[in-house]
Amino acid sequence: MATVIGGSDDGSSSLPESPRPVLPTQQPVARDLRLSSDDEPKQTQAVTATSRTRVQIERNMNTMRSEFEGLKTDVNGQLNRMEERQVRLETQQSLVLQKLDTLIEQISKAQVVAPTNFYAKEERPDLSEQPQSNEYFQLGSQIQGRRDHDKALEEFPIEHISRARDLTRSVARSLFGVKKLTTDATPVYYKEGRPDFFPKELTNRDGYCKPYPHWDISFADNYHWFSVYLSLWRSMVPKDSSAFEMACRGFTDRQLLVLLHDGPFKSLVTGWNTKKKEERLGNVEGRKGVDKEEEKAIKRGVSQNVCARVISTRG
């Protein structure tokens, strides 16, 4: 009796089932969806390059913007400093112009033209007076005989001495009728061999004759016209009720003559001597030229005489 293997309890006679083969479980393969660099589309590469370029451009623009802002700040600072400097210059210019206007006004008040009839004909100094007895001659002698240490003792107010000297120069120009106190020394005149300070032939219709100093004699010997100078000086003091006017009103004759001697008179004497020296040198040079011509003429004459004698001897 055959043994039924794997039969069922119910007595069924079905064929035994063959064992099912066990198949290994297959795991899903993970596929890398990313493409390699070699497989990237050309369009993606172009987009990436453009992005990088844009980023670089933006960086450059930011750098340029920062530099421009810095430069703008520097320029604004320089402009501000220039404006401040211009304001200071305009302020200084305004102050200078104000001072200049004040100075011009003061000068215009001081520049008084010497009147043509400053003193009458009968008021002329007496030229026959002995100089030793004249007060102005004595003052002139004392002034021109001062030593250097004595000049420092003249009691001039320090704050007004500069303007006093300027006024003295203006007085001298008006009194002598000159423009330059260094070269325009007036000519000297003589009458009967003596200095003539008021030449009659130069007197105008009103009887006025300006003084003609003698630059070739001492300051004291020019005392004849000192009174005219002193009167004109005091008449040209600016009448503006200033401290300078008050100081000028207190100047003595000696102080005014010191201003004249140490200033315009000294300058004109120097110019006169320089001019005379140049004239003497010119005369000497001219004389040398004449002597040379005479010497040449004499030599030519001697030579001609010798030749004539030789010819006559041969004949």
pLDDT digits (tens, 9 = 90+) for 148-197: 766 766 788 999 999 999 999 999 999 999 999 998 999 999 999 999 99
Res 188: pLDDT: 94
Res 111: pLDDT: 45
Q: Which helix (H) or strand (E) holds 287?
A: helix 266-314
Q: 3-class DSSP state for residue 22?
A: coil
For the chain, the C-alpha Rg in angstroms (whole number) is 59
Give the pTM: 0.53
Condensed to tens digits (0 to 9), the pLDDT of residues 74-98 reads 888 888 888 888 888 788 777 777 7
Question: What band does 115 get if pLDDT is binned at 50, 70 and 90?
Answer: very low
Are the beta carbons of 120 and 231 closer than 8 angstroms?
no
Q: Quote the tokens at residue 144.
A: 């021109």
Asked whether the predicted pLDDT for residue 306 surpasses 90, the reply is: no
pLDDT greater at residue 149 or residue 310: 149
Question: What band does 138 get if pLDDT is binned at 50, 70 and 90?
Answer: very high
* Average predicted confidence (pLDDT) for the chain: 77
Res 58: pLDDT: 85
Q: Quote the tokens at residue 5.
A: 């293997």
Question: What band does 252 get if pLDDT is binned at 50, 70 and 90?
Answer: very high
Q: Compute the distance between CA of residue 74 and CA of residue 53 in angstroms, rounded to an integer.
A: 31
Q: Is 220 exposed, middle or buried (0-12, 13-18, 19+ CB in 10 A)?
A: buried
pLDDT greater at residue 252 or residue 52: 252
